Chains A and B, each alone.
Chain A
Amino acid sequence: MENLQLIIPELFISIMIMFLLIFGVFKKNSSQLVYNLTTVSLVAALALIINLDTQIQSLLFNNSYNIDSLARFMKILLILSGIFVMLSSSKYILISKISKIEYPILILCSILGMMVMISSNDLIVFYMGLELQSLALYVLASFNRDNLLSTESGLKYFVLSALSSGLLLYGCSLIYGFSETTNFNQIMVNTKEIEYGLTFGIVFILVGLAFKISAVPFHMWAPDVYQGSPTSVTVFFALLPKIAALTVFIRFLYIPFYELGDQWQMIIIFLSIASMVFGAVAAIGQKNLKRLIAYSSISHMGYALAGLSTGTTQGVQSSITYITIYLVMNLAFFSCLFMLKRNDEYYENIDDLSGLSKNHPLLSLSLLVVLFSLAGIPPLAGFFAKFYIFVAVINEKMYFLAIVGLLATVIAAFYYLRIIKIIYFDPEKEKFETKHNLGLKFTLVASTFFILAYFIYPSGIVDIISQININ
């Protein structure tokens, strides 16, 4: 029973999924209501997580489920992002005619899967969570089924993701074969000696995870899926799976395989450098904002991985800080994207932003702040995110990684500047609508304010994150 008390948030979300499914089927035209109820249940789940007593024992169900400070923080982050995504995209879903009861329920399923992933302390539990979130995401990606791009992106994501899941599962089986257990802590105990099979297992698992956070060279799906999916799903893709996958990365690297650091460190450094550089270079030629943000997030994941590659607690904390600030920046960016609406049509090309600053000074100002922050220019939040990463990286004397990372920032600055140039320096176009729902406005204002005012009190988040216990 004590175990059950600690997974109340997960249980609550599962029950809500079932309830909403039945409710939505029996009540006609209830899609909007189900959507709102989903948001409310996310808020309730958030309250439940915050309320959990952290003092009691954290390993549950035969040590297969871990409720530690890392899981707690990441779940809060996950559900908060979920709430903001729901708030900001409600209008979009109505207008793009994808407002069906399944939509919010699938989102809840996927969030549940991610929560399981975050807390997993066992290969089987981890895989279960992973598949739960992925299956829901396949459907979400192709949710706008009348749209060719959307169906294509769903299929593409499904095929590639299935392949990577296969690799991951194979890696799990190798690990199991060489360590005789699926439990993370037990793996650490049983793998004191390095064997080739084990190394292969680690590599396969890392490949699978790299696919999930779209690190180069396993990023092929990201641009197509980001562009093809409905924007409300793209924002979901850009935020939540990254949190879950990064947590699993931390768990894998820092619990079972911590002793094998020299086996995985080079791989992570390679993934990190490749992602930072490729993401920055490939984004330069893009015309579609969603596609561009896909490459930009590939690049950002490279920085988050750079923090992980240090193998130190400080590095992990810097990665968590990075992902937190990354979430806020992307949330702000997508909120701006949701505001580019004219006559019930959403615009997502860079050229559509031309001269935006003349007609919509406030919207342009927030885009300006977000883009400079994404580029990592002080004094905005994005600078601090990168700063912490480089502090951790340089502490480990990994100068090459730091310098490549900083040079990639300069390349990346170019395409962010290009958008700013189009917004501020180019001739104006037709006006966009200025009426938006409250949730969207709130999301944009809150996230922009966070980015802008972060420098006043940068210690706040760092202090919270520094209390997270990794091992």
Chain B
Amino acid sequence: MNFPILSSLILLPTIGALFIFFVRSSNSQYQSSKYVALFITSANFFLSLYLWIVFDKSIVDFQFVEEREWISGFVNYKVGVDGISILFILLTTFITPICVITVNATIKNRLKDFLIAILILETFMIGVFCSLDLVVFYLFFEAGLIPMFLIIGIWGGERRVYSAFKFFLYTLLGSVLMLVAIISIYWITGTTDVIKLYELGIDAKYQNLLWLAFFSSFAVKTPMWPVHTWLPDAHVEAPTAGSVLLAAILLKMAGYGFIRFSLGLFPDASLYFVPLVYTLSLIAIIYTSLVALMQEDMKKLIAYSSVAHMGFVTLGIFTMTQQGIEGSIFQMISHGLVSAALFLCVGVVYDRLHTRLINRYGGLVSIMPKYAIVFMVFTLGALGLPGTSGFIGEFLVLMGAFKKNILVATIASLGVILGAAYMLWLYKRIIFGKLINEDVKKMVDLKRFEIVALWLLVLPIIFFGFYPEPLINSIEVSVANMIDMNDLDKINKLALGE
């Protein structure tokens, strides 16, 4: 097929942004620019859905590969998808229209600029997930900082400036070493093309340093303990749509990067650093869960829970087993849906009461029953109840971990219990209890667009909870190939002394 479907996916949002930019601004046309954005992002979703359907899940190779000369003799613009990246693209194109649906409630001023920022961000996010060249990947990875910085800074809460700066400088600092590593890879192997690098392999003596350089970038972005501190700030201050995109997609870039680059390019180094990753992941799971228990601010609580969930992801990836990696990917998709939904839920009550403090709420079940139902689903999804997508991911990760190290798996399982504790307690304090606060009594239940947005998220969470097959199917071959190709199994066995 010659139609450049991936490039269209990348470019379509930018075209939409340009269109909105050139439509003359007046208050009456705010609505129209919203519909344009909604149309473009939905079109993009259906395009990626079509991509998923025509994608051949039984082939290990990258599909829909496009290659064009870019920086002559050095870097080629190369994009393509395999079973792993296609899911992330789907997640991105699914979450973005939901953000657009909900902007009306949260964004009061400069709606047009906000939509442009979101569309540009979508371009960069899709670009990250389908680039097959390290430089192109870096370009998209870093470029995403610009719109996110503006989203937090212009439309954020009171401490938005501090948070925006922290977000930007932290991630930039993390990525600096990755750029050095990418250029070094070019001089060591003569290419930055990921597929060629998979074939060539990188000499084991360079791997450790290169792995650390990539790790510094991905660890900040994931975020792993102890460089996670930017995340709660960024989440709390960002507007709802910003938090949703940040939690659902931007964090996944790092997890995706771990699988695609850390495991794929530096298998020996990955194995060498397994204890480091295990330790940091376990600390993230246990420590941030405890921190989440203590939070008074809803968004902060969910932000810390994100760190804990991403701890499961990194743990799963570095078990280097089929189940562990599949579980991590599943967990990322599921967390993308659930955390997006939870931030939307917080946004719903924040728009009505303008506070995120948990103790100002209580007893919402009697005045907002519809809200209580969807929030229940998401809470259960977040704590990984069987029947929701959250369960499959955590279960697979733990299965992979048990295969490798029983102690690690046991500690990680504790995290599941803690997760249940803080999520259920949050639910209890907001939804149940007595209606004390007078303002709360005046709150109205979900509006139509909120129902649409939230139920759109309920469906996949429950569907994939009962029937994970489509997702697993899509990633199975690619993950198996990744493990085969890099002899991760063999390396594992050697390490275990078998």
Contacts and interface: CB of A to CB of B under 8 A. Distances in A.
Interface in A373-424: 377-379, 383-384, 387, 390-391, 394-395, 399, 402-403, 406-407, 409-410, 413-414, 417, 420-421, 424
Chain A interface mostly helix, strand, loop or mixed? helix
Contacts of B150: 424
Interface string A44-81: 00000000000000000000000000000000000000
A417 to B, nearest CB: 6
A84 interface: no
Interface string B148-181: 0110011000001100110011001100110110
Interface string A111-151: 00000000000000000000000000000000000000000
Given A378-B142, A379-B139, A459-B71, A414 B177 contact: no
B173 A410 contact: yes
B143 interface: yes
B402 interface: no
B146 interface: yes
Interface in B399-419: none
Contacts of B113: 361
Contacts of A410: 169, 172-173, 176
Contacts of B143: 377-379
A403 B177 contact: yes
Contacts of B184: 394, 399
Nearest to A418: B165
B145 interface: yes
Given A377-B143, A379-B139, A458-B71, A391 B183 contact: yes
B186 interface: yes
B153 A424 contact: yes
A378 B143 CA distance: 5
Given A377-B143, A390-B179, A421 B165 contact: yes
A397 to B, nearest CB: 8
Interface residues of B, number: 34
Interface string A4-26: 00000000000000000000000
A403 B177 CA distance: 7
Given A394-B187, A414-B169, A417-B149, A409 B176 contact: yes
Given A378-B139, A424-B150, A463-B72, A413 B168 contact: yes
Interface in B338-362: none
Interface string A346-378: 000000000000000100000000001000011
Interface string B36-77: 000000000000000000000000000000000111101000
A421 B153 contact: yes
A377 B179 contact: no
Interface string B11-34: 000000000000000000000000
A394 B180 contact: yes
Contacts, number: 83
A449 interface: no
A417 B145 contact: no
A455 interface: yes
A442 interface: no
A390 B183 contact: yes
Contact of B142 (A377, A417, A425): A377
B154 A395 contact: no
Contacts of B165: 414, 417, 421
Which of B135, B176, B187 has its CB near the most chain A CB atoms (within 10 A)? B176
Contacts of A378: 138-140, 142-143
Contacts of B176: 403, 406-407, 409-410
Contacts of B161: 421, 425
Contacts of B179: 387, 390, 406
Nearest to B116: A365
Which of B135, B169, B179, B184 has its CB near the most chain A CB atoms (within 10 A)? B179
A462 B71 contact: yes
Contacts of B135: 387
A390 B180 contact: yes
Nearest to B141: A378
A390 B70 CA distance: 18
A327 B184 CA distance: 28
B124 to A, nearest CB: 9
Contacts of A403: 176-177, 180
Contacts of B154: 424-425
Contact of B164 (A361, A409, A421, A459): A421
Contacts of A462: 71-72
Contacts of A384: 71
B102 to A, nearest CB: 23
A446 to B, nearest CB: 19
Nearest to B186: A391
Contact of B169 (A383, A390, A413, A458): A413
A463 B145 CA distance: 30
Nearest to A358: B110
Nearest to A456: B70
Given A406-B176, A409-B176, A425-B153, A459 B72 contact: yes
Contacts of B169: 410, 413-414, 417
A99 to B, nearest CB: 37
A420 B113 CA distance: 15
Contacts of A413: 168-169, 172
A459 B69 contact: yes
B128 to A, nearest CB: 12
Contacts of A383: 139, 142
Contacts of A420: 149, 153
Contact of B146 (A372, A402, A409, A414): A372
B322 to A, nearest CB: 35
A402 B213 CA distance: 13
A421 B184 CA distance: 34
B180 A399 contact: yes
Contacts of A425: 153-154, 160-161, 164
Contacts of B187: 394-395
Contacts of B139: 378-379, 383, 455
Interface in A315-338: none
A410 B173 CA distance: 6
B180 A458 contact: no
Nearest to B174: A410
A417 B176 CA distance: 17
Which of A372, A377, A455 has its CB near the most chain B CB atoms (within 10 A)? A377
Nearest to A424: B154
A420 B72 CA distance: 33
Contacts of B180: 390, 394, 399, 402-403, 406
Interface in A18-48: none
A403 B154 CA distance: 32
A224 to B, nearest CB: 29
A222 B73 CA distance: 39
A458 B70 contact: yes
Contacts of B145: 377
Closest 9 CB pairs of A and B: A459-B72, A406-B176, A378-B139, A394-B183, A378-B142, A425-B153, A410-B173, A378-B143, A458-B71
10 contacts: A377-B145, A387-B179, A391-B183, A394-B184, A395-B187, A417-B169, A425-B153, A458-B70, A458-B71, A459-B70
Given A377-B146, A378-B140, A421-B165, 19 more contacts: A377-B145, A378-B142, A383-B142, A390-B179, A399-B184, A402-B180, A406-B176, A406-B179, A406-B180, A407-B173, A409-B176, A410-B173, A421-B164, A425-B153, A425-B161, A459-B69, A459-B71, A462-B71, A462-B72
